[in-house]
Amino acid sequence: MRLRLPHPLVLLLAGVGVAALLTWILPAGAYDRRLDQASGRELVVAGTYKQIEAAPVGIMAAVLAVPRGIVAGADVILTVLLVGGAFALLDSTGALARLVGSLVGRTRRPRLVLIAICLIFATLGALENMQEELVALIPVLLLLSRGLGFGAVTAVSMSVGACAVGAAFGPTNPFQTGIALRFAELPPLSQPALRFGLFLVAVAVWIGWTLAMTSHDDVHPEVTPPATEPATGRDLLLFAIVLLPFIPYVIGVMRYDFGFNELSALFLVSGFAVGMVAGRGLSQTAADFLKAMETMLAASLFIGVARAISVVLTDGRVIDTIVHGLAAPLDNVPGVASAVLMIPIQALMHIPVPSVSGQAVLTMPIMAPLADLLGISRDAAVIAYQTGAGLMDMITPTSGALLAILLGAKLDFGRWLRFAIPGGLLVALVGVAGIVLAG
């Protein structure tokens, strides 16, 4: 029996309803918090959980949480619109089709192309935690995947999956590893040999899984190269223009604390540059750019509705209760086994808190001191967080970006789960090995 889930918007709105229901069922509670002067974030103080006055969220408040979530996610939403608009504008010039057609027509080793694409996206994930930016790239990757003789599952695997694995185990990922290490009060690159080793092995395992499962994908051997015209030098220039913003953005993330607003600004310039180089006037470029953004409206809405779930749980004062309820059982589990059990706990926590950086801020100040009490290294607790939260990024139903990507790929969520869960569990074994080696 095939697993078929509702439309992504229905799924997310149901998540908001479930979150509101939990505020009536779970006791309200809170940890004390202190301000971290270096990062400006409020950190949870371990061992201070207490019950507080309940604040259940009613029907009207739950409905209002949806527009509030959209407002709260405005920076990400705008990025998706501008990045997606720039790529859609490029696609409207025909350059993408010609470039992909040339690549498909010339390569006789589609598996090598698949490996190369996986490595590229795993590296981008490790550098800047790429996810939302993939929404705009999916139509191109789907075209390429089918031209190589594969299908939608492979297209999503070599992009979303590779990014999630690279981001989870990337030693320098500022949004996951970097934040988790800081809030676990560890050096910025603690145990570098172990971390780089885990990254390489995890990416290799995911690539191996993707290659092994291509024969089970919705293969399209009848697909021919998508364009008969050869690619031109201007096509390459247009493609370079639309990719160029990623270079200063990655550097800015690593050195200057860049965020989504900076990426949006870079792609605003890039989009207009694409139109002008393609020979369209300024006014025509503006009109075409806006029309191109229309293709990303559904994806943007998903991200905002997903934010509404955490808005409801925060308003209902049950986020800390959920964390406390998940962490408390570890007090009675000895040694490394407790660190391994942190993986499913962090994975479950990623459903109500789909932001990996937000989850690190919320859980690591609790898990790190808990690791001390249990006699395991704080590095092990960080690796458990990376494995649980990081890998859940590719399957969590509360991720608006993931649902938007699957919508763009015309890939059923249940079909993706049947592929991603076994592969994710294989990669999770790499995290388990890392926990054992970290002590």
Cβ proximity of 405 and 395 under 8 Å? no
Using the predicted structure, report yes or no on whether residue 100 has a pLDDT greater than 50: yes
CA atoms within 13 A on the CB side of 417: 11
How far is Cα of residue 313 from the mean position of the Cα atoms in its chain? 21
Residue 45 has pLDDT above 70, yes or no: yes
For residue 408, is it within any domain? yes
Q: Which residue has the higher pLDDT, 311 or 148?
A: 311
Q: What is the mean pLDDT of residues 203-215?
A: 90
Buried-exposed string 92-120: b where 16+ CB fall within 10 A, e elsewhere: bbbbbbbbbbbebeeeeebeebbbebbbe
Q: Is 380 within a domain? A: yes
Weakest mean pLDDT among 31-45, 70-84, 153-167, 277-291: 31-45
Closest CA to 430 of 158, 131, 130, 197: 197
3 inside domain: no
* Weakest-pLDDT range from 18-32, 202-216, 242-256: 242-256
- Residue 428's pLDDT band, with cuts at 50, 70 and 90, is very high
CB 31 within 8 A of CB 45: yes
Q: What percent of the chain has pLDDT over 70?
A: 85
- Position with higher pLDDT, 143 vs 347: 347
Q: Does the structure show a pLDDT above 80 at 133?
A: no
- pLDDT value at residue 226: 46
Question: Does residue 301 have a pLDDT over 50?
Answer: yes
Tokens of 282: 């300024």
The answer to whether the Cα torsion of 108, 112, 116, 118 is positive or negative is: positive
| Residue 190 pLDDT > 50 | yes
Of 63-72, 159-168, 221-230, 236-245, where does mean pLDDT reach its minimum?
A: 221-230
**Contact yes or no for 118/163 (Cβ under 8 A):** no
Q: What range does the domain containing 140 cover?
A: 8-438
Tell me the two tokens of residue 25.
């069922």
Q: How confident is the model at residue 174 (pLDDT cuts 50, 70, 90)?
A: low
Record the pTM. Answer: 0.68
Token representation of residue 400: 């608006």
- Domain membership of residue 2 (yes or no) is no
Provide the pairing of β-strand 29-30 with 50-51. antiparallel
Whether residue 223 has pLDDT greater than 50: no
Would you say residue 387 has pLDDT above 60? yes
* 203 lies in some domain: yes
The mean of the pLDDT values for the chain is: 80
Residue 305 backbone phi and psi in degrees, to 5: -65, -35
Residues 6+ apart with CB under 8 A from 217: 150, 151, 152, 153, 154
Total domains in the fold of the chain: 1
Share of the chain above pLDDT 90, in %: 13
Which tens digit of pLDDT belongs to each residue from 398-408? 777 788 788 88
Q: Which residues contact 104 (CB under 8 A, 6 or more apart)?
A: 144, 147, 148, 225, 226
Identify whether 142 is part of a domain. yes
Q: Of 338, 38, 328, 32, whose CA–CA distance to 179 is shortest?
A: 38
pLDDT value of position 373: 61
pLDDT at 348: 86
Q: What is the dihedral of CA 327, 331, 335, 339, to 10 degrees?
A: 0
Q: Residues 20, 62: contact at Cβ < 8 Å?
A: yes
Q: CA-CA distances (angstroms) from residue 50 to 44, 45, 46, 47, 306?
A: 12, 12, 11, 9, 28
Give the residue among 236, 231, 237 at the shortest CA–CA distance from 98: 231
Question: What is the number of other CB atoms lying within 10 angstroms of the CB of residue 255?
Answer: 8
C-alpha to C-alpha distance for 347 and 135, rounded to whole angstroms:
23
Question: Is residue 175 situated within a structural domain?
Answer: yes
Identify which of 229-238, 293-302, 424-433 has the greatest average pLDDT: 424-433
Q: What is the per-residue pLDDT across 251-272, written as a single tens digit (0 to 9) for each?
A: 886 677 777 788 888 889 988 9
pLDDT at 253: 67
